[in-house]
Amino acid sequence: MVTQNSAYIETWDVENNQFWEQQGKRIASRNLWISIPSLLVGFAVWLMWGMITTQMKNLGFSFSTEQLFSLVAIAGLSGATLRIPASFMIRIAGGRNTVFLTTALLMIPALGTGLALMDPATPYWMFQLMALLSGIGGGNFACSMSNISTFFPKNQQGYGLGMNAGLGNFGVTTMQILIPLVMTVGLFGPLAGDSMTLQSASGTLVGRIDAGAETWIQNAGFIWLLMLIPLAFAGWFGMHNINLVTPEPGHPLAAFGKIIGLYAIALCTAALGAYMMGIIGMWLALPFTIVLTLALLRMIPGSIQPNIKNQFRIFSNKHTWSMTVLYILTFGSFIGFSAALPLSISVIFGKMSLLNDSGDIIRVVNPDAPSALTWAWIGPFVGALIRPVGGWISDKVGGSIVTQIISAVMVVASVATGYVMMEAYNSATPNDYFLVFMVLFIVLFAASGIGNGSTFRSIGVIFDQQMKGPVLGWTSAVAAYGAFIAPKVMGAEIKAGTPEMAMYGFAVFYAVCLVINWWFYLRKHSEIYNP
């Protein structure tokens, strides 16, 4: 039953069909449809740096291509790291408390990024700080999915999680369409400062914008405030805490303190990881950040400690690790390509490879280059649109067989994409390869979107009510490092002149996932046969 203030549910038995039909379905739907737009804006704020850095390049901000890719990667690193403590927040602080506060916190990077973009002379460290704080939007996915998983029975996990994540993923597409549009007008008048002049051609959903046009890049941050304020109110007044899931959330202020403390730890470790990246390299900085975050969480004193320790039980289950790898395959690819694609289009197709008088290959500006701001939204749109379909199909035929099929598709598509990227990068007419390049990336996004639904459906079946929430949070946390890895790897390989090597490396990983999925869930005598 729900108490008088309609915020705290004392009895929750969704596996009881009578309870579900009489009370549960209505309450679950209400929480789901508040959660979805909150998650959507979280994705938008987290991934906005892919579009912002593309426009910063067009405006001639005094940062190198590598520095711009690094801003995208820092946001990815932060968002993924924040997902680690976020996966535990629902059990500690309650769903209503968590969704409200984590949505409200997004106002900080939205406002701060807008202010920083008003002045091209803003120092690089300020953009690094805003990219770091934008990771709050990425972290919110883990607590959102963990929360929604508790509202639906097992036979509707594919639907509930697919709708929340799939429509939430539309935050990427929404951002990639909305940001280019709002940058074309002085939407906030004198409050947002003056316009700037494009030094290179840009674009929107409806077409190309030539150099010399006026743009308001700061609107890329300010626009999200218009959505975050009402969404925070909706979360506070419309969502619920569940007694079965969070027996002792405490006073809301105490719950807020726990949430802020957990996020503060992860922000510090993410910042340290970003710093260490320049010293020990990304492949060592990444596990360093994860291990340090987990170690600090285990050391938290007071009443939080028993809850954290209890949630760490998921690490003794081998299926936590197999499903983590498989979710890197799906969501890691979706979010990584979403982050890296805009700037990759700009760099690969923005120049042509020609022979100079000495016979050396040089890269010169492509005057008819396709605008990333016009095209980059299509892949994430397809991936997000098809994700609920992946959950629905998996409810019918089984999650693992769907995962196996899309894994094979992604192996082939990655190899083909790498070859096309190589040809385009070394061509005097790169535009000839753009259509097939986009089609192949759409295939990758579609496959990863379907796989997002199938892997989350499998988690809902494999784990019990107490474990599936933390497992969903943990797997989504590790997979979110794709938003860090893809920009760094693709940026480094593009700088080296070998963009295809990034995609070939991803193809090898996808092939390994094929074997893992078959071994654990499709073998005839596997412990959990989940066709």
pLDDT of residue 303: 65
- For residues 340 and 133, the model is more confident at 133
User: Read out DSSP for 267-331?
Assistant: HHHHHHHHHHHHHH-HHHHHHHHHHHHHHHHHT--TTHHHHHHHHGGGGG-HHHHHHHHHHIIII
- The owner of tokens 């749109």 is 381
Q: What percent of the chain has pLDDT over 70?
A: 96
pLDDT of residue 440: 96
C-alpha to C-alpha distance for 516 and 429, rounded to whole angstroms: 41
In this predicted model, what pLDDT tens digit does every residue of 205-259 receive, in sequence order?
A: 777 888 899 999 999 999 999 999 999 999 999 999 988 787 777 788 989 999 9
In this predicted model, what pLDDT tens digit does every residue of 300-348 receive, in sequence order?
A: 876 667 767 767 788 888 989 999 999 999 989 998 898 888 888 988 9
C-alpha to C-alpha distance for 44 and 170, rounded to whole angstroms: 8
Contact by Cβ (8 Å): 499, 437? no
pLDDT at 3 over 50: no
pLDDT of residue 530: 64
Contact by Cβ (8 Å): 134, 48? yes
C-alpha to C-alpha distance for 221 and 110, rounded to whole angstroms: 5
pLDDT of residue 71: 93
In this predicted model, what pLDDT tens digit does every residue of 349-380 receive, in sequence order?
A: 988 988 777 777 888 888 888 988 889 899 98
pLDDT of residue 1: 47
Q: What percent of the chain has pLDDT over 90?
A: 46
- For residues 441 and 456, the model is more confident at 441
Highest mean pLDDT among 115-124, 155-164, 365-374, 448-457: 115-124
pLDDT of residue 153: 87
pLDDT of residue 2: 47
Sequence-distant (6+) residues with CB within 8 A of 234 are 34, 37, 38
- For residues 312 and 12, the model is more confident at 12
pTM of the model: 0.84
pLDDT at 438 over 70: yes
How large is the average pLDDT for residues 68-84? 91
